[in-house]
Amino acid sequence: MWITRIYEKTLQSLAKEFPALVLTGPRQVGKTSTLLKVFSDHDYVSLDLPYNAAQAEENPEKFLSDHGDFLIVDEVQYAPSLFRYLKFAIDSDRRPGRFVLTGSQHFQLMHTISESLAGRCGVINMLGLSRAELLNALGPLSEDVFIWKGGMPELYAREEITPEYWFISYVATYLERDVRNILNVGNLRDFDRFLRACALRTGQLLSLSDLARDVGISPNTVKNWISVLETSGQVFLLEPFYRSLGKRLTKSPKLYFTDTGTAAFLLGFDSPSDLFQSPFAGQFWENYVLLEYLKLMRARAKQPRVWFWRTRAGEEVDLIIEHAGRIMAIECKQRERPGEKDIRGIKSFSSHIQGEVQGIVACRTPRSYPLGEGVQAMPVRDIAEKFADQYGQNDKGTFADE
Residue 374 in domain: yes
Domain shared by 25 and 39, yes or no? yes
Domain shared by 327 and 355, yes or no? yes
Residue 244 in domain: no
Cα–Cα distance for residue pair 265/147, rounded to 1 Å: 11
Q: What is the CATH number of the domain that holds 52?
A: 3.40.50.300
Domain shared by 152 and 227, yes or no? yes
Tens-place pLDDT, residues 28-77: 999 999 999 999 999 999 998 999 999 999 999 999 999 988 999 999 98
Domain shared by 151 and 79, yes or no? no
Residue 373 in domain: yes
Domain shared by 64 and 23, yes or no? yes
Handedness of CA 1, 38, 304, 375 (dihedral sign): negative
Domain shared by 61 and 171, yes or no? no
Tens-place pLDDT, residues 97-112: 999 999 876 556 666 6
Domain shared by 70 and 116, yes or no? yes
Number of domains in the chain: 3
> Which contacts qualify for 29-33: CB closer than 8 Å, 24 or more apart?
29/126, 29/127, 29/128, 29/151, 29/152, 29/153, 29/233, 29/259, 30/5, 30/126, 30/128, 30/129, 30/153, 31/74, 31/102, 31/104, 31/126, 32/74, 32/102, 33/153
Domain shared by 119 and 136, yes or no? no
Q: Which one-letter amino acid corresponds to residue 27?
A: R
Residue 136 in domain: yes
Which of 104, 125, 146 delimits the end of a domain? Answer: 125
Closest to 105 measured CA to CA, from 163, 165, 48, 43: 48
Whether the pLDDT of residue 323 is over 50: the answer is yes
Tens-place pLDDT, residues 173-198: 876 666 666 666 666 788 889 999 99
What is the SS3 assignment for 4? coil
Domain shared by 157 and 262, yes or no? yes
Domain shared by 81 and 164, yes or no? no
Domain, as residue range, for 57? 8-125
pTM, two decimal places: 0.89
Contacts of residue 286, defined as CB under 8 A and 6 or more positions apart, other chains included, come to 203, 256, 318, 332
Q: What is the CATH number of the domain that holds 353?
A: 3.40.1350
